């Protein structure tokens, strides 16, 4: 730094401090990963993880004491967000009585993300369901096949461009009351 | 109607006797799928006893059953299974479609359900409700008995 | 009578020998089939002869290759699979080596339907997921919507919710006990369980109008106030149910047949349970004292005293005991709710969320407009996402709700406890006997509506 820059300018030029959670366990977790953003969504801690670091961050979260993977699911944002699919994993720590939500994104074409099954075996069925309903591939999943729909079903039902499939309902003709 | 001759001898037609026998001990096949299955179990339980109609034995094997109460929503994956179980039942057989989901697809008008079990098997009685209480199911079963006794359903 | 012929004379001869019994048949002892126990036998042989060691010839060594295994298909239409669960079981004789649960036979597309229904209609959809604990589904959904809306329900509504969900826990566990018993062979349990359930369902019918799938707990509170005279009904349940559960204990608790069929069967260790995300009675039966009502309390349940029922070994018997104990704890909570029920509104006063009383519609134009907008379009929920979980009779029942500011949810996802618990079924059934399958499935208490949604 040259002598001309003052501390006020330094403060302006410096990058804004990354928001970090207050809880010490979570704080330690987030401080280790620069690329993971923290957000408090209606009082719940959310980690926004880039797609490439999904597995690595998951290992770290497991190491921080989150023994239970409660759920893995996906949201289809269609055109509302730059990346079409958002994959959400809900985690629970019985030791610290904490919840954490991890989210990442996957694009429109051939969406895929690393599987959490090596870290939490309990994510098995949930990832299969996300694959079945959205078409998001989970790399490293032991058995990524359709779970809810028949095996020969085409399409992924919970995508926004998959119609509801409703059948027009025929009503009886109403009688005229005279 | 049956007629009595002197000497305590009752005469009737074979047809009427067969119909009487069929209604008095109809064995249902276990085909409980969803919420309606719980109400079907409640109908078989002590409060709304199905045993007074001779029907408390729910046969697990369709080969031993003559009534299939489709209780619950039938998904696309389950429809071939339903048809297979129906085909395995020996004649005479009847089908009661219990609940809104079995009758018409109910409130789930979407890709996953067969909109009405009558797309897959022929249905004799539809019992509406979500889920139909045991009284409704009993009414449906007794209506089926009446229809068989009257000869309306020739099966 | 004719003269005795030569033949009859011969026959007479034979008869004489036989009748006289002077000659005994030749006796030549062999070693085959020798049953005598002599002193110099080895202890192992003694054990065998006493029947302490069963020489089963259907246990293969590890050297058996997989081609010798038989794949048996159980379900989806099967009396003991608790709904439409299909299991593909790989058997080596009588021992189960691998199991694969195949689900999806009850998939109803509820999450897709949920995106078509408004927020106030969502309860009708969600309540049919876990159809044995409908109030819990509705509660998780309503709490999620309320979290997104940022509103708090009045204390009376919260207390009514606790009352109904705890009674629902009792009725769900009664079905679990009934089907458990019937599957293992105690068929009278089926009748007993449903008999008690009728009493609770009668109370539900009086309060909500329906026996099952009530759509009573709605975002903003509950749909209507408790019926007059509800205290007498609840008091009658509180008197009757413990007595009857004592009856079940007399039948099952120390019954040697029940113990033989459930002790040490379908064991899951607590580490495996936590790894696989199992929650609810199967987790608590392994010794882990984890209950969402204590860890993340909701709906004012922290105001009531109760204990968490915990088991030890994680086998079928412990899961059964945990369920019975949970009924007792729930009845304790119900009693406290009955005594402490606060007065007040049964739903939030915010006219944008809850419809006005019917009488007002005739009087005020505003009330009419609110009613119209609420029931045609529905109330709009600010954008956001949240995850709320409640402790259902099966475990952690969560609702992940995403809203984008419209009157319909953008994405509604239910974390189903039975879905996760079924992942552990292969673990619980591994290396056990085929005859224990039914007991294990019954003890995990899966509800297929929850699993497949």
What's the DSSP call for residue C296? S
What is the reported pLDDT for C15? 44
B110: which chain A residues are within 8 Å (Cβ-Cβ)? 164-166
3-state secondary structure of C373: helix
Decide if C76 touches B, using CB distance below 8 A.
yes
Mean pLDDT value across chain A: 83
3-state secondary structure of B50: coil
Do the Cβ atoms of A70 and C389 come closer than 8 Å?
A: yes
- Min Cα–Cα distance to chain A from C168, Å: 23
CATH of the domain at C135: 1.10.645.10
CA distance C10 to C3: 14
What is the reported pLDDT for C31? 58
Decide if A162 touches B, using CB distance below 8 A.
yes
CA distance C313 to C32: 46
Return phi, psi of residue B98, to 5°. Answer: -100, 125
- Min Cα–Cα distance to chain C from A17, Å: 24
CA distance A143 to C310: 34
**Among the listed residues A82, A78, A98, the one whose alpha carbon sits nearest the alpha carbon of residue A90:** A98
What is the reported pLDDT for A18? 74
Domain-located, residue C61: no
Decide if A169 touches B, using CB distance below 8 A.
yes
A124: which chain C residues are within 8 Å (Cβ-Cβ)? 423
Mean pLDDT value across chain B: 86
**Among the listed residues C225, C311, C296, C304, the one whose alpha carbon sits nearest the alpha carbon of residue C262:** C311
How does pLDDT run across B74-119, given as a tens digit for each residue? Answer: 988 888 889 988 998 988 889 999 999 899 888 888 888 888 898 8
Sorted by where each begins, the domain ranges of chain A are 19-139
Those chains having 3 or more beta-carbon pairs within 8 angstroms of chain B are A, C
Interface test with C, best of A40, A41, A42, A78 (most C CBs within 10 A): A42
How does pLDDT run across C74-112, given as a tens digit for each residue? Answer: 878 777 667 888 888 888 888 888 888 888 889 988 999
Number of other residues whose CB lies within 10 A of the CB of residue C47: 11
The partner residue sitting opposite C396, judged by closest CB among A70, A76, A165, is A70
Those chains having 3 or more beta-carbon pairs within 8 angstroms of chain A are B, C
DSSP for A92-116, written as a single string: EETTTTEEEEEEEEE-SSS-EEE-S
- Total structural domains within chain C: 1
Domain-located, residue C153: yes
What is the reported pLDDT for A151? 85
Interface test with C, best of B45, B64, B100, B131 (most C CBs within 10 A): B45
**What are B53's two structure tokens?**
């109609």
What is the reported pLDDT for C164? 93
- Min Cα–Cα distance to chain B from C195, Å: 6
Chain B to chain C, count of Cβ pairs less than 8 Å apart? 96
Low-confidence ranges of chain C (pLDDT < 50): 1-2, 4-5, 8-20, 57-60
Instruction: Break chain A down into helix, strand, coil percent, rounded to 5.
Output: 25, 25, 50
Domain-located, residue C375: yes
In chain B, residues 48-107 whose CB comes closer than 8 Å to chain A = 76-77, 105
**What are C380's two structure tokens?**
């709009």
Segment A30-45 mean pLDDT: 83
Query: Which residues are paired to A100 by β-bridges?
Result: A91
Q: Of A174 and C314, which is predicted with more confidence? A: C314
CA distance C441 to C430: 13
Domain hosting C446: range is 110-452
Question: Is the pLDDT reported for residue B153 higher than 80?
Answer: no
A163: which chain B residues are within 8 Å (Cβ-Cβ)? 111
CA distance C44 to C357: 82
Question: Is the pLDDT reported for residue A176 higher than 80?
Answer: no
What is the reported pLDDT for C48? 62
**What are A64's two structure tokens?**
């921080």
A158: which chain B residues are within 8 Å (Cβ-Cβ)? none
Question: Is the pLDDT reported for residue B17 higher than 80?
Answer: yes
Interface test with A, best of C88, C104, C117 (most A CBs within 10 A): C104
Residue of A nearest to B106 (CA): A169
- Asked if the interface predicted TM-score (ipTM) of this complex is over 0.90, the answer is no
Percent of chain A surpassing pLDDT 70: 86
A165: which chain B residues are within 8 Å (Cβ-Cβ)? 110-112
- Min Cα–Cα distance to chain C from B2, Å: 38
A39 pLDDT tier (thresholds 50, 70, 90): confident
C150: which chain A residues are within 8 Å (Cβ-Cβ)? 42
DSSP for chain A, written as a single string: --TTS-HHHHHHHSPPPPP--SSHHHHHHHHT-TT-EEEEETTEEEEE--GGGHHHHHHHHHHTT--EEEEEEEEE-TTSSSSSEEEEEEEEETTTTEEEEEEEEE-SSS-EEE-STTT-GGGHHHHHHHHHHH--EEET-TT---SSS-TT--S-TTSTTS---PPPPPPPPPPP--
CATH architecture designation of domain A19-139: 2-Layer Sandwich (3.30)
C112 to A164: CB separation less than 8 angstroms, yes or no: yes
The partner residue sitting opposite B47, judged by closest CB among C125, C132, C195, is C195
What is the reported pLDDT for C332? 92
What is the reported pLDDT for C16? 42
Question: Is the pLDDT reported for residue B136 higher than 60?
Answer: yes
Those chains having 3 or more beta-carbon pairs within 8 angstroms of chain C are A, B
A41: which chain C residues are within 8 Å (Cβ-Cβ)? 384-386
């Amino acid at each position: 730094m040259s002598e001309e820059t003052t501390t006020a300018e330094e403060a302006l030029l410096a990058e804004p401090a990354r928001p970090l959670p207050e809880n010490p366990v979570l704080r330690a977790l987030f401080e280790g990963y620069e690329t993971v953003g923290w957000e408090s969504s209606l009082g719940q801690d959310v980690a926004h993880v880039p797609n490439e670091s999904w597995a690595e961050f998951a290992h770290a979260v497991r190491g921080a004491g989150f023994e239970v993977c409660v759920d893995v699911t996906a949201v289809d944002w269609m055109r509302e967000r730059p990346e079409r699919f958002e994959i959400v994993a809900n985690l629970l720590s019985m030791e610290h009585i904490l919840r954490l939500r991890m989210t990442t994104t996957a694009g429109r074409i051939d969406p895929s993300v690393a599987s959490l099954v090596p870290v939490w075996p309990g994510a098995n069925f949930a990832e299969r369901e996300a694959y079945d309903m959205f078409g998001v591939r989970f790399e490293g999943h032991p058995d990524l096949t359709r779970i809810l729909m028949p095996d020969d079903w085409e399409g992924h039902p919970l995508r926004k461009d998959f119609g509801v499939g409703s059948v027009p309902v025929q009503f009886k003709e109403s009688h005229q009351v005279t | 109607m049956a007629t009595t001759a002197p000497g305590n001898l009752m005469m009737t037609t074979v047809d009427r006797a067969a119909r009487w026998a069929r209604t008095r001990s109809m064995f249902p096949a276990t085909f409980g799928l969803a919420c309606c299955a719980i109400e079907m179990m409640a109908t078989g339980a002590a409060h709304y006893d199905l045993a007074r109609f001779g029907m408390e034995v729910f046969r697990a094997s369709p080969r031993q059953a003559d009534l299939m109460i489709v209780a619950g929503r039938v998904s696309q994956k389950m429809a071939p299974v339903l048809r297979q179980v129906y085909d395995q039942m020996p004649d005479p057989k009847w089908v009661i479609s219990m609940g809104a989901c079995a009758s018409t697809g109910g409130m789930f008008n979407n890709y996953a359900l067969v909109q009405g079990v009558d797309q897959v098997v022929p249905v004799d009685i539809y019992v509406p409700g979500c889920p139909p209480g045991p009284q409704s199911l009993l009414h449906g079963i007794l209506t089926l008995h009446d229809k068989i006794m009257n000869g309306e359903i020739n099966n | 009578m004719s003269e005795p012929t030569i033949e009859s004379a011969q026959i007479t001869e034979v008869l004489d020998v036989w009748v006289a019994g002077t000659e005994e048949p030749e006796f030549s002892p062999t070693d085959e089939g020798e049953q005598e126990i002599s002193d110099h036998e080895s202890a192992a042989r003694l054990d065998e002869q006493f029947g302490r060691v069963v020489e089963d010839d259907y246990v293969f060594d590890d050297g058996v290759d997989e081609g010798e295994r038989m794949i048996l298909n159980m379900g989806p239409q099967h009396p003991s699979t608790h709904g439409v669960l299909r299991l593909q079981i790989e058997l080596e004789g009588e021992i189960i080596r691998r199991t694969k649960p195949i689900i999806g036979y009850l998939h109803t597309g509820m999450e897709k339907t949920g995106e078509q229904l408004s927020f106030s209609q969502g309860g009708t959809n969600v309540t049919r997921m876990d159809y044995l604990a409908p109030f819990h589904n509705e509660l998780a959904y309503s709490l999620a919507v309320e979290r997104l809306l940022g509103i708090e329900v009045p204390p009376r509504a919260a207390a009514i919710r606790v009352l109904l969900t705890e009674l629902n826990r009792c009725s769900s566990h009664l079905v679990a006990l009934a089907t458990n018993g019937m599957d293992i062979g105690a068929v009278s349990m089926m009748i007993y369980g449903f008999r008690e359930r009728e009493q609770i369902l009668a109370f539900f019918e009086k309060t909500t109008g329906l026996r099952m799938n009530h759509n009573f707990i709605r975002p903003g509170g509950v749909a209507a106030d408790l019926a007059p005279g509800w205290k007498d009904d609840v008091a009658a349940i509180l008197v009757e149910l413990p007595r009857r559960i004592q009856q079940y204990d007399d039948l099952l608790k120390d019954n040697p047949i029940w113990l033989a069929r459930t002790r040490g069967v379908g064991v899951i260790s607590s580490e495996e349970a936590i790894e696989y995300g199992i929650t609810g009675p199967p987790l608590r039966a392994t010794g882990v004292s984890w209950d969402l009502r204590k860890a993340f309390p909701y709906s004012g349940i922290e105001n009531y005293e109760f204990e968490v029922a915990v088991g030890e070994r994680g086998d079928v018997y412990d899961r059964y005991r945990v369920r019975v104990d949970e009924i007792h704890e729930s009845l304790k909570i119900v009693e406290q709710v009955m005594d402490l029920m606060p007065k007040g509104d049964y739903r939030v006063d915010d006219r944008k969320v809850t419809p006005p009383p019917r009488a007002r519609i005739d009087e005020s134009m505003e009330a009419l407009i609110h009613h119209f907008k609420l029931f045609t379009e529905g109330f709009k929920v600010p954008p956001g996402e949240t995850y709320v979980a409640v402790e259902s009779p099966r475990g952690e029942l969560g609702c992940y709700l995403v809203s984008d500011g419209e009157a319909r949810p953008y994405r509604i996802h239910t974390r189903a406890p039975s879905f996760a618990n079924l992942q552990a079924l292969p673990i619980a059934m591994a290396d056990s006997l085929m005859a224990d399958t039914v007991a294990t499935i019954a003890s995990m208490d899966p509800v297929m509506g929850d699993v497949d949604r």
